Structure formats: structure tokens, C-alpha cells
Amino acid sequence: MTLPVIVIGGGIAGSCVAYFLARAGRPVTVVDAGVHAASMVPSALLNPVRGQAGRVPERALEGLPFTWALLRTLVAVGFDIPHGATGVYRPVPDAKTRAKFDRHCPDGLDAQWQNPDQVPFALTTGHTAVLYLPEGGWVDGAAFTRAVREASGATVIRAQATAWTADAVMLDDGRTLPAAAVVHCGGSVGSSWAGLNGTHRAGTMLLLDRAATPAPVSFGAYLAPAAHGGVLGATFEAPTTQWTPEVLPLTSLKWLLGKGMALVPLAGTAVTGTWSGTRLSGLVAGVDANSVWCLRGLGSQGFLLGPLLAAELAAALLRHGAGDALSP
């Protein structure tokens, strides 16, 4: 009997690793505690131009079409994944910021400057220009993650892995599962459970009764459509070295509302709930010193880069035992 590859963690990273391994014919088991997954974010941006400096991650130009292709593949076979290939709008406050964005913009990225009054919805005043990224958009993180995991056909075990080696995983119910290989995709909470220090940053999405804009708008925080209404959110809490249970301090709520209203007039919009999560920075993709495969630390780019990096990791693992390159 062929032993399965065991993937620890069923967020977007682990689900995509499972998907690409399974597509290549490998039996896969996903062990997922199913708690505190950043991938359950109600609306994630596919935005290649990051932060307030407008940096473009090295692999963004490959990651963006790869994620869209995977999403379309899943939608084509019947998965319901709320999303919008609407583009992303990045309003900038001054000429200095615009120059920074321009400096970081690579050849090959479709990025179009517009005057604020050209944008097809009302922005709050005070922006000098708006960068429109037609290839970006938004996706329901939870629906996308579940669809990839389900499409993988992997056996899913709802449990916490308490210890593992290169060829076995111990579970909190006392079982030990033998494995052909082990891949750790534990995200923020799982890295802390594994005793690893890292840079963890919590954030919150305010769930809105309506989408404040028809396409995502982002600077400091983001407003985006979602499956039901819209969201206003960001990962903005002070970084910690370990995952800690998320809370929403009133000061954060005030900060977030201030950031949202600095982007778009929000009068008439109601907050219907909140969702909080934690992202882990410091990408680790490959094999560790104990011969355990890892994909962790996707930062705020889990949906932009996660599928691409997962496919590459799966291909590397297969090559280890002979496999082929993978595409969505």
C-alpha cells in the first residue's frame, strides 16, 4: 500500500499543496485542527502592489494569474467561490507616494494612473491620484480554501498534530500516522504550536451590510466587496513573536473606521459583525533540517502567492520521488 503524504494544516497553503500532490496521483491526507486559520478571511485582495510604498513582490506577476487560473478551474467544475475580477484601486495621498509606486512598478504589470474623479465611484477627497490594477480583484478566502481542499480529494482528519518526523505524524487523539512525506503548513497558530518564533500580525475585518465600492480600494486598510455585503479591514496590530488569541481593542476599531472613511465616504453603511485573524510573515518554503517539507509565512499574500508556491513545493516533493511540473 502506498503511504500518503500528510499535510499538516488545511489553510490555503496546505489545501493547495494537497491539491497539487493529489492531481499528480499521490495519496494525500490533510490533518487540520480547523481553528484560527487566516485563510478564512471573508474577502482577500489579489493585489500585486503592496503596502503604502507600492512594492511588488518578486513572484507577484506569476502568482496573480496562477491564482486566478486555479480559481477559474474550480469554478468551471462547479465550486461556488464568490469573487470579483474587478481590478483593485490604490489611491495615493501625494506626489511623493506616487513616485514611490512608480519606482517599484515592474515592466509587465498593467498599472494605470487615474485622476480621482475618473474612478467609477466616490472617493473621499484628499487623494492626488489613483493607481488602477485591472488584473487584481477579491476572493472569498474561506470558500476558495474549502474548494481547493475538497477538489484535492484528500482524506481530511480533523485533529491537531502534536509531533511529527519526516515519515510519521502523531495526533492529539493518540494515533500515529505513517507517511511517505510530511508537509507542515500550519500558518500563524501552527508555527506557535510547533514552538517556532516568528512575526505574527493580527488584524480585523469589519463586515459591512453592503459593499462600499464595486471593486477593492486599498491604502492603509482595504474596502472590498464580499459574498454578503462588503468588508473593511487590515492586519494592523503590533507584531508579536507568537500567535495570541485575537481581540479587537476599541482603539483598533476607531483606527480602522478612520482608515476606511479616509478612503471612501461610509455614511449609510452599517457594520454587521467582525472577523479577526493573524498572518505570519517570513516565508519558509522547502525542506527543513529534519526532512519535513514546509510552506509557511505567506504574510499578507497568502492568496496572491500561496497557490503558486504550493504548486512549486508539490513539484519539488514529487521530483524528490520523481514527478512533473504542475499547473492549475
DSSP codes joined into one string, 168-227: EEEETTS-EEE-SEEEE--HHHHHHHTT---EEEEEEEEEESS-SSSS-EEESEEEEE-S
Reading the block at residue 243, the C-alpha cell is: 500567535
Distance CA 84, CA 138 (A): 5
Residue 35, SS3? Answer: coil
Q: Which is nearer to ligand FAD, 44 or 183 (CB)?
A: 44
- Shortest distance (Å) from residue 262 CB to ligand FAD: 18
Distance CA 129, CA 250 (A): 31
Q: What is the DSSP pairing of strand 129-133 with strand 161-164? A: unpaired
User: Are 56 and 109 in contact, with CB atoms under 8 Å apart?
Assistant: yes
When asked if residue 4 is in the footprint of ligand FAD (CB under 6 A), the reply is no
Choose the binding region for ligand FAD from 51-59, 260-268, 301-309, 319-327 (rule: CB under 6 A).
301-309
- Shortest distance (Å) from residue 139 CB to ligand FAD: 8
User: Are 273 and 199 in contact, with CB atoms under 8 Å apart?
Assistant: no
Distance CA 75, CA 140 (A): 13
Choose the binding region for ligand FAD from 18-26, 72-80, 82-90, 275-283 (rule: CB under 6 A).
275-283
Distance CA 223, CA 232 (A): 4
Choose the binding region for ligand FAD from 148-156, 189-197, 249-257, 283-291 (rule: CB under 6 A).
189-197
Number of residues that bind ligand FAD (CB under 6 A): 44
104 to 143: interface string for ligand FAD, x by CB under 6 A: -------------------------------------x--
21 to 50: interface string for ligand FAD, x by CB under 6 A: ----------xxxxxxxxx-x--xx-----
215 to 234: interface string for ligand FAD, x by CB under 6 A: ------------------x-
- Residues in contact with ligand FAD by the rule CB under 6 A: 8-14, 31-39, 41, 44-45, 141, 160-161, 185-190, 193, 203, 205, 233, 235, 277-279, 296, 298-304
